[in-house]
Structure 1
Amino acid sequence: MKKYLVTISLLFSLFGYSQKKVLQTKFISEKIEIDGKLDESIWQSAEIATDFIMFDPDNGKKIPDSKKTEIRVLYDNDAIYIGAMLYDENPQKILKEITQRDNFGTSDLFGVFINGYNDGQQDFQFFVNAADGQADCITTDTNGEDYSWDAVWNSKAVITDVGWVVEMRIPYAALRFSGESKQTWGLNFFREIRRDRQKYTWNFIDSKLGTFTQQSGVLEGIENIKPPTRLFLLPYSSFYVNANSRQKTTGTIKGGLDLKYGINDAFTLDMILVPDFGQTKYDDQILNLGPFEQQFNENRPFFTEGTDLFSKGNLVYSRRIGGNPSVYPTIEANEEIIDNPASINLINALKISGRTKDGLGIGILNAVTEKTSATILNNDNKTVRKEVVEPLSNYNVLVLDQRFRKNSSIAFVNTNVTRNGGFRDGNVSALVWDLNTKKNTYSLNGDFKYSYINATDNKKGINSQLNFSETSGKYRYGIGADITTKDFDNNDLGINFETNYYSFYGNTSYRILNPTKIFNSFTARLNAYSQFQKETGKIQSGDINFQINSSTKKNLSLGMGLNVNPLETYDYYESRTADRYLITPAKINMSLYISTDYNKSFAVDFNPSYQIYNEEGRNSYGFAFGPRYRFNDKISINYNINFYRDNNDKGFIDRLKDDLDPVTPATIIYANRNVITYANSFSGKYSLNSKMSFNLSLRHYWSYAENKNILSLQQNGRLADYTGYTVNKNSSFYSWNTDLSYSWWFAPGSQISVLYRNNAGAFERDINKDFRNNVTNLLNNDALSHVFSISVRYFIDYNQIKNKF
């Protein structure tokens, strides 16, 4: 009988968790000082949100009384206020590493999630850690958390003798809500107790369901407030000093303005006038021996902030804007290129984005880049001419995304690149859908894309995919297929590597939803993928992949992967020649990873891997090793070394064609080679407080490919020895990057940044295998450049100016 009573009690408990909690707030006219003390008397009259429930790892477990959490919410005509009392029986054990904004560090954490439309679609999340640091993001179930979004708000965290306190003021300008007189907002609170790796929420988040934003509680009581005028100006001024041994030292002063304007309660206009991206993070360049370009991360703030709409359909690769020129200059035998710009200057850019109360999201992105020319020298008469490699160009993205039933959407996306004159133009349109059942247990998603290239050889192509999956419970599965025609091309504003294929894939997985005696989390996943060349039906890829990811009770993360390609496959890309393929052997790849407890001062990540081919002497192996040490809450360092060796790799190096004999096929030259890669990176930070820090980032990279013997590609896809080729096609690329920076948020939204940067890189055909000399020569290279810059950005809020007057 007792067993049945316990079961009934548990069912009632879970039923109660599934109901949305409701919190009432109240209007205040008193001034609240954001000092982390909660000593204003008005706080005591506010209703309390309490009874938190564990989200992870033991989903559904109540928070212990010793960690009791009490939250109060107040509001006035300009902002909403949150006061949080986070009890802890051992305040001296509260973790509180000081970090930069949007970096949680090894710290306890408190967050508030607000949805001004209470539609379960998008949360504005605001976090404060125990070291008084801030983080904020926009979260959707489809795209996850976007920490590139930054708002301006105030907070203060203070550790006391009974726990810690957080006080927050979030102005309405940082939120989105309707103009209705009586507001009902979606609301949830979050608490992480870092030393125990436990996460709690006020309204229960059921981990069995495939949604997070739809499981919030409700905030009621806000009345007669109006969405404010959202007009923010961010003027900036920068000073740069550039120096290297090849050119004299130069100084440059730049200035510009970023503008954000709320067109109405839903839509925002972002503009950059005279952009300055000189202090963005450097790119991690590699020796790229493959047939496809290297894809880089986007580090420019304008193109990373609030871009969830523009990610629909995966059609936008924003590094195209202001990236490499679209054409390469043509030269005669007696000419040489003396200056060919590696990137195009951005003149200006704007984006408009937002969502109506009926769920229609609209996004418009537009950017203009300047006309750019290469400089070419005639070696006979020493005259110089210019050739346009990129005309004045306009980049445009349009997104219409209709959400419905709180968890589904259908979107139309169009990208267009128009170049002045007779240069190539590109246009891509897509229909994208993400459909989920009412209980978020099953999902059907996919897209249909159509591309049109306006050039000398106009091209039209399609790409489409369809996926069905179960998204809840311990056991989950998914199946899908996609097809891409030969002439599909979205590379003017997107990025796409493979065309002319169709594929089928499926997966199944198992996960624990609550901890066991050993594991806090455990997931096992099996994937299968096969790809076929569309015209011939030959298999281009076929692999079976098994993965395990887990974390133990002692915060040790463990994982393994096994990838099997059981069949020979046909590679139509490495040859760089239409309708020619290389047959690649079957292979098996194995990998492990171990990550120790980051809560401790010293932690290590270790990731070895080994791959063997069904070909004599062909294999590859490597490892990544990353120790880290936190000296105290202010100082920490990380080091990572990556080593990889590929033995008897087969790769394209040249293509020989007799122009006088158009009938005989070209001879495609391959090399049997060993490829060795070393990558070392070091980073460190010293944070004076949550608003001021010094940061160091250093990376040395060296990779070389040493050709052992030359091969030619036969018509049957096999390789044969080739003795008539004597050109040195060895490859060695090495680079060095150092960034030393100081950052001070001297006022809300306002920042002073000081950066010293040096970098060098070189590509050579002769390989110097002495590692020490390699590094020394790189640092003594004439190409080593130095940049010192100071940038000041000041945030101006129209509402604050209006209130002062």
Structure 2
Amino acid sequence: MKHSGLFFLALLLSLFVQAQDSTEVIEKKKYYTKALGEYAAPTINGILEDKVWEQVEWGGDYIEWQPDENTPPTHQTQFKILYDSKNLYIGVRCLDPEPDKIVKRLSRRDGFDGDWIEFNIDSYFDKRTAFSFTITAAGVKGDEFISNNGNNWDSSWNPIWYAKTNIDDEGWTAEIRIPLSQLKFSTEKEQVWGFQSTRRIFRAEERSVWQRKPVDQPGWVSEFGELHGLKNIQPQKQLEIQPYTVAKVETYEAEDGNPFQDGSDNSITGGLDAKIGITNDLTLDLTVNPDFGQVDADPSAIALDGFQIFFQERRPFFVENKNIFDFSVSQSQAGNTFGSDNIFYSRRIGRSPQGYPDTSDGEFVDQPDNTPIIGAAKFSGKTKNGWAIGVLESVTSQRQATIVNGSGDRRKEIVEPLTNYFVGRLQKDFNQRNSYIGGIITATNRENLPEELNFLHEAAYTGGLDFKHQWNNRDWYVGGNITFSHIQGSEEAITNTQQSITHLFNRVDADHVAVDTTRTSLTGTGGNVQIGKIGNGHWRFESGATWRSPELDLNDIGFQRQADDIRHYTWIGYQTLKPDSTFRRVGINYNHWSAWDFAGNHNYMQFNTNSWQNWKGNWFTNAGFNFAPIQYSNFNLRGGPRLRISPWMSFWNSINTDNRKKIRFSAFHNGRKAVDNSFKSYYVEAGFVYQPLNALRISAFPSLSINHDKLQFINNFDDVGGSPRYLNGEIDQRTLSMSFRLNYTINPNLTIQYWGQPFISRGRYSNFKHVTDPLAKRFEDRIVQYNDNQISFADGTYSVDENLDGLEDFNFDDPDFSFVQFRSNLVIRWEYIPGSEIFLVWSQDVTQSGNPAEGLLPSLGDNIFGQKPHNIFLLKATYRFVL
């Protein structure tokens, strides 16, 4: 380790010396626009026939960016820009002597397929954020809000703008009109905006840019050219109102005798969303009785480790401007630092009720599926002075379950209290936009918790400070954050939190934590610090550390998998900058991680090397290898002692054929195996995308997962003959699924999309055992396995007689399982005028418990085909008023 440390220091020194070399200074290009003056505005038809375009010169002289940076592109591109008091107009000519080879693939908005031209506008001129407008040769629009200097591209931003395209003998042309109300800019009489344009020539998979941007130069927005000539334009305060109505019909299998499950339900709801420009920089979003129905269903998943599963947010109100509210606890280039952990996880708002009523035999329950949001407001934006501001306030209603008995008597029980959620976020740029410092604070308050919901926290507060400083032309950076949490509740609630899998203060061999059943609050901290180099040359690196104290708890409004963790990580990467006869680009990486708990136990060490390749024919491949010589788990025994995990190795590999072809294939597989064979797993996914027509795309991706673990947790028994039993078994788990998609685009504003996924996960247990020496080096010394004489099975229950005295010492339910699910969505979307839409949605769900003794395919078929699905039919209409 001493020699490896010296090598690492030497490498850092060489990188630092390299950084001191003078970096290439790229001259900023400038384009000078003009006002329309006395001319009429151009007609947006894509033909560039209006005389008004003659007022300004062509901008052009694009330079290739990918694959061979700083070389002439295959075909040149030209543009002109004009403006008036309300709009920005862009005319563009994409030269191409073979117009019949221009690829015009259709898709819905933000499809970004085929040939396209893109314009990025940094109207704040803050060199960190920008508005992106893309138009394809087929006329499909795409728009994204760029933040964090190009590290985040938010396609949920849907401004109102207009564009048309046309193909002629010289290539293709486009005309664009962008209302100034959709941009944010200052009140200065003469303005300078950051400006960049990118063109994609699809058949060559080539990107060229107006302002040269070296591939080894970090950042994106900071490297823009400049748009000059904007004079006497006034910021347009935004005022948009979007009412909606939803008609919903559900059908499902009726349950005999259950008055709440008669086979169908229907409803009609309505609401209102509004967007108000308080200033040109800051916007207030309001919603009354919002519709948060998801067009896309969450994919099926099952977890045996006990930790929660992270799902992406899809609800429009929360997705838009989500970058402002983001506060990741410990994302890193190296990964493996619980990168999904975040102070704000918006899916906590409007979640399914957390309580369930106590019932007796013969009683039926009408349990609400979700928690309605009474109202929500979001105040967000970024000022010209570099202040990023975000404030979100939301109130969810109290929810009650209705219980009825056989006599028809009804009662109600609260399953979710009235709850207020608040998030405040602030960041400030300084040092010529090379640095920032920021903070966040959240509050969750639940009103008048009844006794049956005493397990919930009455209040939860989290917060944090973050910073980043870049230097040497943004090649180098140092950054980090510190996080805190404070939760309050009843003794029962705080005890439950201490014993939850995130914390496990009750684990028997932990001297630095202990359950205190009298506590009514818990306060913890976390954070991250890192230094890295990501520009100027072939070499890159990042090194840092992250921690979560045992008491840190973010899960009331955030997402956190586990606490009591201190982790160090390092990533070193090398990448080529120029294509050669074999590859367009190649990257090689090295990573390592180590982790400790707050008692000082060294719980984890892992090494990784991987490489990715972009081949000359535009195929992509990658491969990686891991080795973990040290691993202990504080969580595997769910409150039992710290457990040694045998050293293991793993690999992964993927291949993707050229995505420009009408049919393309991809495959991915990985495997993991303990050196002593105590566990092994394998996962493979392979499939195809077929595009027989520009308007039609079909894809299918089946996958198979195999998990064989000789020490899979089942349950803990506190007292068996005077000592605890940490019961485990050998699991043989198989998971089979397939994701199928069909997208048909009638025109860019009218699309039909279908997604379906059959899913089955089956687990069979055998060779039951309990852990006796959890830290033993040899796997066989950690456990005692029960023989056939000690364990018997009858009526779905295993009975254990350890000392063979004829008396049962303890019993447990059969842990075998077979989870079968089929989910699908059919969505017809029509944007009948810009910003206003009609959705017709048909969603299906079949969820069953299969027979673990059956094979995967028979069990899948028996529990999907012939079953009555849960059908949801939705008709949603919105109209967007721009005032």
Residues in 1 aligned to 2:812 and 2:488: alpha-carbon distance in whole angstroms: 41
Partner of 1:171: 179
Residue 581 of structure 2 aligns with an amino acid whose one-letter code is K
- What letter corresponds to residue 777 of structure 1 in structure 2? N
Give 1:635's aligned residue: 696
Rounded Cα–Cα distance in structure 2 between residues aligned with 1:39 and 1:282: 46
Contact preservation (8 Å) 1:699, 1:736: yes
Relative distance call for 1:795 and 1:649 in structure 2 (3 A) is farther
Instruction: Provide the TM-score with structure 1 as the length reference.
Output: 0.93
Q: How does 1:743-782 map to 2 (within 5 A)?
A: 743-763=829-849, 766-769=852-855, 771-782=857-868
> Deviation digits for residues 435-471 of structure 1, max 9, x if unmatched?
1115111111111011000112310000011111111
Instruction: State which of 632, 635, 647 in structure 2 corresponds to 1:573.
Output: 635
Cα contact 1:312–1:411 (8 A) shared by 2: no
My pick for the range that moved more, 383-392 or 297-306, is 383-392
1:759-789 superposed Cα distances (whole Å, 9 cap, x missing partner):
111245744325134224224335x211222
Residue 448 (1) aligns with residue 458 (2): no
Provide the aligned C-alpha RMSD in A.
Answer: 2.1
Q: What does 1:197-208 correspond to in 2, within 5 Å?
A: 197-208=205-216
2:222 aligned to which of 208, 214, 217: 214
The answer to whether structure 1 residue 87 and structure 2 residue 115 are counterparts is no
Corresponding residue of 1:434: 468
Encode CA deviations 1:258-286: one digit per residue, 9 max, x unaligned: 10010001100111211112342111121
- Alignment-derived partner of residue 325 in structure 1: 353
> In 2, are the aligned partners of 1:525 and 1:547 still within 8 Å (CA)?
yes
Q: Which residue of 1 aligns with 2:334?
A: none
Tell me the CA shift for residue 591 of structure 1.
1.3
Q: Which residue of 2 aligns with 1:151?
A: 159
Say if 1:230 and 1:262, in contact at 8 Å, map to a contact too.
yes
Q: Which runs of 5+ in 1 are unaligned?
A: 1-13, 799-805
1:593 aligns with 2:654: yes
1:644 pairs with 2:705: yes
Distance in 2, matches of 1:665 and 1:262, equals 66
Runs of 4+, deviation exceeding 6 Å: 14-17, 332-337
Partner residue, 1:703: 761
Q: 1:664 to 1:396 in 2, by over 3 A?
A: farther
Q: 1:554 aligns with which of 617, 627, 632?
A: 617
Contact between 2:606 and 2:628, CA under 8 Å: does it hold in 1?
Answer: yes
Offset of residue 668 of structure 1: 2.4
String of CA shifts for 1:62-89, please: whole Å, max 9, x gaps. 224xx12111000011100000000012
Structure 2 stretches lacking a partner, 5+ long: 1-21, 255-261, 329-341, 450-455, 491-519, 776-781, 792-799, 801-810
Matched residue of 2:693: which SS? coil
CA displacement at 1:665 relative to structure 2: 5.5
C-alpha distance after superposition, 1:409-460 (max 9, x if no partner):
1111011111102451110010011211151111111110110001123100
SS in 2 for 1:295: coil
- For the Cα contact (< 8 Å) 1:768–1:774, is it kept in 2? no
**Aligned counterpart, 1:260:** 275
What is the aligned partner in structure 2 of residue 40 from structure 1? 50
Choose the corresponding residue for 1:315, options 343, 364, 367. Answer: 343
1:754 and 1:514 mapped to 2: Cα distance? 48
319-328 vs 731-740, greater mean Cα deviation: 319-328
Q: Give matches, 1:238-277, under 5 Å.
A: 238-246=246-254, 247-277=262-292
Contact in 2 for aligned 1:562/1:588 (Cα 8 Å): yes
Q: CA deviation at 1:539?
A: 2.9
| 1:793 equivalent in structure 2 | 878
Distance 1:376 1:290 in 2: 33
1:511-531, Cα deviation, whole Å (9 max, x unpaired): 011112211111111110111
Residue identity matched to 1:745: E
Q: Please state if 1:392 is matched with 2:399.
A: no
**Which of 36, 52, 61 is matched with 2:71 structurally?**
61
Please tell me the residue identity of whatever aligns with 2:462.
V
On the 8 A contact 1:367/1:394 being kept in 2, the answer is yes
Assess if the C-alpha contact under 8 Å between 2:848 and 2:863 holds in 1: no
Determine the C-alpha separation between the residues in 1 that align with 2:184 and 2:529: 33
Aligned residues: 773
CA distance in 1, matches of 2:391, 2:849: 40
Instruction: Please report how far the alpha carbon of residue 582 of structure 1 lies from its aligned counterpart in structure 2 after TM superposition.
Output: 2.4
SS of residue paired to 1:708: strand
Does residue 690 in structure 1 map to residue 776 in structure 2? no
- The DSSP-based 3-state class of the residue aligned with 1:60 is coil
Q: Spell out, residue by residue over 1:621-658, the C-alpha distance to the aligned partner (whole angstroms, 9 max, x if none).
A: 22110111110101110000111111235322222235
Deviation at 1:248, TM superposition (A): 3.3
Instruction: Measure how far apart 1:377 and its partner are.
Output: 6.2
Cα offset for 1:378? 7.1
> Are 1:524 and 1:546, in contact at CA under 8 Å, matched by a contact in 2?
yes
Per the alignment, residue 3 of structure 1 pairs with: none
Check the 8 A contact 1:17/1:204 in 2, yes or no.
no
Match of 2:11 in 1: none
Rounded Cα–Cα distance in structure 2 between residues aligned with 1:363 and 1:670 = 47
How far apart are the structure 2 equivalents of 1:335 and 1:520? Answer: 68
Report what 1:736 is aligned to: 822
The AA in structure 2 aligned to 1:631 is: P
Give 2:394's aligned residue.
367
Specify the SS of the correspondent of 1:698.
strand
Contact 2:481 2:529 in 1 (8 A): yes
Q: Does the Cα contact within 8 Å between 1:121 and 1:407 map onto a contact in 2?
A: no
1:32 Cα shift? 1.3
CA shift, 1:325, in A, is 3.0
State the Cα distance separating 1:18 from its structure 2 match: 0.7
Supply the AA of the counterpart residue of 1:44.
E
Letter in 2 for 1:403: D
Contact 2:65 2:214 (C-alpha < 8 Å) held by counterparts:
yes
> How many angstroms apart in 1 are the aligned matches of 2:139 and 2:288?
33
- 2-side partners of 1:541 and 1:370: how far apart? 43
Residue 487 of structure 1: aligned partner: 551
- Give the drift of 1:223: 1.1
What whole-Å deviation, never above 9, does each CA across 1:371-417 have from its counterpart, x for those lacking one? 113345679x9855433222100111000101112132111101111
Pairwise CA distance, 1:207: 1.7
Give the 5 Å matches for 1:332-343. 338-343=365-370
| Structure 1 residue 33: Cα displacement | 0.9
With over 3 angstroms needed to count, the CA separation of the structure-2 counterparts of 1:670 and 1:715, relative to structure 1, is same
Q: Secondary structure at the match of 1:755?
A: strand
The residue aligned with 1:31 is 41
- Residues 757 and 334 from structure 1, CA distance in 2 versus in 1: closer, same or farther, beyond 3 angstroms? closer
The equivalent of 1:9 in structure 2 is none
The residue identity in structure 2 corresponding to 1:734 is: V
Matching of residues 388-537 of structure 1 within 5 Å: 388-404=414-430, 405-422=432-449, 423-424=456-457, 425-456=459-490, 457-472=520-535, 473-535=537-599, 537=600
SS class of match (1:654): strand
Which of 105, 129, 136 matches 2:143? Answer: 136
Decide whether aligned partners of structure 1 residues 765 and 773 sit closer, same or farther in structure 2, where only a CA change above 3 A counts: closer
> Contact (CA 8 Å) 1:651, 1:672: kept in 2 or not?
yes
Q: Deviations over 1:176-230 (max 9, x none)?
A: 0011121211111110111111111111112212111111111111111111120
**Which secondary structure does the structure 1 equivalent of 2:813 belong to?**
coil
Q: 2:123 aligns with which of 107, 116, 120?
A: 116
Q: Give the 3 Å change call, closer, same or farther, for CA 630–16 of structure 1 in structure 2.
A: same
How high is the sequence identity, in percent, across the aligned residues?
Answer: 27
Report deviation, 1:565.
Answer: 1.0
